[in-house]
Amino acid sequence: MSLQTLDDQLHELRLSAFRTALREQQANPQYADLSFEDRLSLLVDAECNQRRENRVKRNIRSAGFPMQAALEDLDFSPTRGLERRFILELGQCSWISSRQNILIFGPTGGGKSFLASAFGVAAARLGFSVRYHRTSRLLHALTMARQDGSLTHLLRSLAKTNLLVLDDWMRDAITIQNAQDILEVLDDRFGHSATLIASQVPVADWHLRIPDPTLADAILDRIVHNAQRIQLEGESQRKLRSQRPMPNT
């Protein structure tokens, strides 16, 4: 078999990283000193690593994060009230495997969405499926799905997601139907998967924003009791960024 034929076959099999690594071995005489098994192992490693990276990229892209965020870029300034060790431990995502929740609280502009997205990215890097939704938009999607007959499909999709991120939780007024939809989503997830909620509204005020007390009790019961809590402090991050001097050009 000619090298060109082998290259064409690897292309046909979509072994792009294997193919690139093979070309590198052919061009570099240093590889000639390695055994066949070692050279083959390096080629397989290259393909596996590339596929793993591609899978992570797909996970992050399909999650729908509103911004690029990562825990390594997080601001741990003392005024923000974040305990570095605690946040980095959560970044290892064992709470997702344990089917627990995270609640992130803080003022407007305090960095809740960034932190929620950063946890989501950390989860995607570890192979968990993640979906990010602003709560109002998810409720709208659920309403539309009920009208066009796709509600069951959407609920199943949400239930199968390892980590569901709900941002701007209870920011806007909700209807009884909205509350019932939220409970449907949480019922499917409780004990099976993890949910992260970011909100500027403290838990004590959630009852007042859910129009039916029974639904409120049920919703809180499925979120709060097995949740880790993070309270962000300090000034608005948007305000602080706007006050930084622009670089000279």
Backbone angles phi, psi at 127, to 5 degrees: 95, 0
Say which residue, 238 or 72, is predicted with more confidence: 72
Q: In the predicted model, is pLDDT for residue 192 greater than 80?
A: yes
Three-state DSSP state, 165: strand
Mean pLDDT of 25-51: 87
- Residue 206 · residue 220 · CB < 8 Å: yes
Give the residue extent of every domain in the chain: 3-62, 65-241
Question: In this predicted structure, what is the pLDDT of residue 4?
Answer: 82
Question: In this predicted structure, what is the pLDDT of residue 50?
Answer: 81
Q: In the predicted model, is pLDDT for residue 249 greater than 50?
A: no
CATH T-level fold of 65-241 = Rossmann fold (3.40.50)
Q: How many residues appear in the chain?
A: 249
Question: In this predicted structure, what is the pLDDT of residue 237?
Answer: 55
Alpha-helical (H) ranges within the chain are 3-12, 16-27, 36-63, 84-90, 94-97, 112-125, 135-148, 151-160, 176-189, 206-209, 213-223, 237-243
Candidates 228, 232, 243, 241; CA nearest to 79 is 232
Q: What is the pTM of this model?
A: 0.80
